[in-house]
Structure 1
Amino acid sequence: MAIPIKIFDVTSKYERNVLDQYNRYQEYVESDTARMRRLHELNRLNPPEVVEFDNPWWKFWRRTERIELEPTPLTDSQFQALLASRKKMQKLQFACEGATEADAPLLAFLRDFGYRNMLTEWNEHHFFMFRPVVRWNGATVELSHLIIGPSHLYIVEWLEGDRSIYHISKEKTWIHQPLKGENTRVVNPLIALTRTEEIVRLFLPSYDGVLQKVTVAPNGYFDHVPTSSTTQFISRSDYDQWLKQVNGRAPIVKAQQIRDVATLLDQTAQMPFRQFIDQ
């Protein structure tokens, strides 16, 4: 699972010191996993089962008996699912300083198509910024998603239609043709990608990796794909193979990758989590 380091303009722990907080995150997850594994081995992750039954009428001083039975142990798959759920929350708490588990139902971006894909399908050697807000030309600007790997920096726009067809054009909107129902229009994602690329190149003028703009429709298709374009169009037919290549390019986290992340974070706006959740 990739590591979120910035959500919109919410204050992130990584803004203090990326490398230090990344190491703290790793240690926190390792110690929590070891603790949960011990509890799992001792069968202490499920509450005990309580059975109640009525005593005979003459035991009027205790009409009901309660017996606690040994809890049902978690299966290996249930235990792994529990660890994965805890890890998602731990990642969120580092990306959004001050967030608690009780806040999760209030955070719509946790259910966002792009957030779920970046979090679960990209390996942990990628860091990602979910629509980061940066300071640029005296104003704040919301960018496309940024995914920073060891050798590639991806600027990504996600299209979530299931078996939809997206008709590419130079207009401000594209035709979205769903499998069922009437056609609609969606904002041309190339506009945000181009603006984001321009800003990122200003922030990282000496970036020596590959800066790649990508429009991704994991469950859909593209029509009228330009023969020459600086943007990749990844559809349902090539998404799995492309993702395999993406993760294969990221076997480790590199020092320059950390420095690039720190540079980008220095340009982002900061809003306390409680202020963000109350607005």
Structure 2
Amino acid sequence: MAQLIKLHDYVSRYQQDIFVYPSRYVRLKQKQWQGLKMAWENEPPSGNENILSGMNQAGKKKQDFLQKMKKVFIKRKELEQEMEDLGKKESEDEELEVSEIPSNIQTEIELKQYYLDRLLPFQLKWASSTLMERSFPDQSFFRDGNLRYFLQRFPDTFLVMYKPVFLLRNAPVEGESILITPTAAWCITFLEDETDAVYIGSKEHFWNKKTGNQEVKLLNPLLALDRTEKIVQHLFNDLDIDMPVFKAILSRNGYIDYSFPPYGIQFIDKRNYPEWFQSMRSLSSPLKHVQLKGAQALLAHCLTTSVRRAEWRTDG
């Protein structure tokens, strides 16, 4: 599950120390998953218990199961111990709460999806609050399918900046989403409306979209994508960060036609999406120093809108 290091203009704890939080997130996630899986594997079977085993045996199973469930939760003392090296007490804000496992989960695949869905609010919490500050994310992000796609379909070593707002020369500039992998930075925009829509690209200010017998115009998506790529490349060059920057338009359910596409842009549609996606998913490289350095450079130039915790609590 990729890590959400920046969401729009909200405060992010990854901005505090990008060299610490990614690895901590991986540890916490793995620890929670192992506890959840253990609890699920030891859950008493339903409907086929032997009545002759008696109430004592059933009671013992229930007690054992409850003991296993305790491992699903991150204990306050364990969190405080892990954070001592950072000198922080963020235990309340970094608890990953997983409720009792639904009885309808029958396979490990279903359990993984349940876990990923429960992990999403936790990630949004990390991407909108710190120990001292908090932002108030729009509720639409909790239902955003593209954001969910980035976070649930890519490895833990991928760092996501979703619709970041850069602050350049004291002016805010909205960017497209950025996926920072161990080997490259991808500036990505989605072009997905109706299924099997055909997007006809050109250098003009508008593109055409064909759906059946209908044809409509839409703003050229390369305009915003080029702007984002230039920002990323400029910041990388200033700090001598040796990492390639790619830009891509992603249409998982449609087609992109461009007779003479400009250099440096990748069109990923229904025809080549499976191959691209598999190549991204199979990237097994661990987090790299240059990757974190690149993320740090981008985060340092992002706009952040937040309030201090004390002020928020007083107003509430």
What range describes the TM-score normalised by the shorter chain of this pair?
A: 0.7 to 0.9
Rounded Cα–Cα distance in structure 1 between residues aligned with 2:283 and 2:204: 34
Match of 1:50 in 2: none
1:65 alignment partner in structure 2: none
Structure 2 portions without partners, runs of 5+: 47-61, 63-101, 131-135, 312-316
Q: Matches of 2:262 and 2:220 in 1, distance apart?
A: 17
Count of equivalent residues: 246
For residue 209 of structure 1, give the secondary structure of its aligned residue in structure 2. coil
Alignment of 1:188-203 (within 5 A): 188-203=220-235
**1:1-279, aligned counterparts within 5 Å?**
1-43=1-43, 72=103, 74-77=105-108, 78-97=110-129, 107-161=139-193, 162-179=195-212, 182-205=214-237, 206-272=240-306
Q: Is residue 243–residue 290 contact of structure 2 (8 Å, CA) maintained in 1?
A: no
- Alignment root-mean-square deviation, CA: 2.8
Distance 1:226 1:124, change over 3 A: farther
Q: In structure 2, what residue type is equivalent to 1:236?
A: K
User: What is the deviation of 1:194?
Assistant: 1.2
Aligned-residue offset at 1:228: 4.8
Deviation at 1:84, TM superposition (A): 1.8
Shift of 1:22: 1.6
In 2, the alpha carbon distance for the partners of 1:249 and 1:29 equals 19
Contact 2:116 2:152 in 1 (8 A): no
Q: Which residue of 2 aligns with 1:53?
A: none
* Contact 2:236-2:243 at 8 Å conserved across structures: no
Moved segments of 4+, more than 6 Å: none
CA change 1:241–1:72 in 2 (3 A) is closer
CA change 1:112–1:81 in 2 (3 A) is closer
Q: What amino acid does structure 1 have at the position aligned with 2:31?
A: S
Query: What is the identity, as a one-letter code, of the residue corresponding to 1:131?
Result: K
Q: Is the 8 A contact 1:175 1:184 kept in 2?
A: yes
What are the ranges of 5 or more consecutive residues in structure 1 without an aligned counterpart?
47-69
Inter-partner Cα distance in structure 2 for 1:148 and 1:225:
29
**Among the aligned pairs, what percent are the same residue?**
24
Partner of 1:19, secondary structure, is: coil
Deviation at 1:263, TM superposition (A): 1.3
Whole-Å separation in 2 of the counterparts to 1:166 and 1:156: 16
Q: Which is richer in strand?
A: 1
Output the CA distance in 1 between the equivalents of 2:251 and 2:129.
Answer: 31
Looking at secondary structure, tell me which structure has more helix per residue. 2
C-alpha change, 1:139 and 1:227, in structure 2 (3 Å) is closer
Return the TM-score normalized by structure 2: 0.70
Distance (Å, rounded) in 2 between the aligned partners of 1:107 and 1:270: 18
Residue 84 of structure 2 corresponds to none
Residues in 2 aligned to 1:259 and 1:189: alpha-carbon distance in whole angstroms: 28
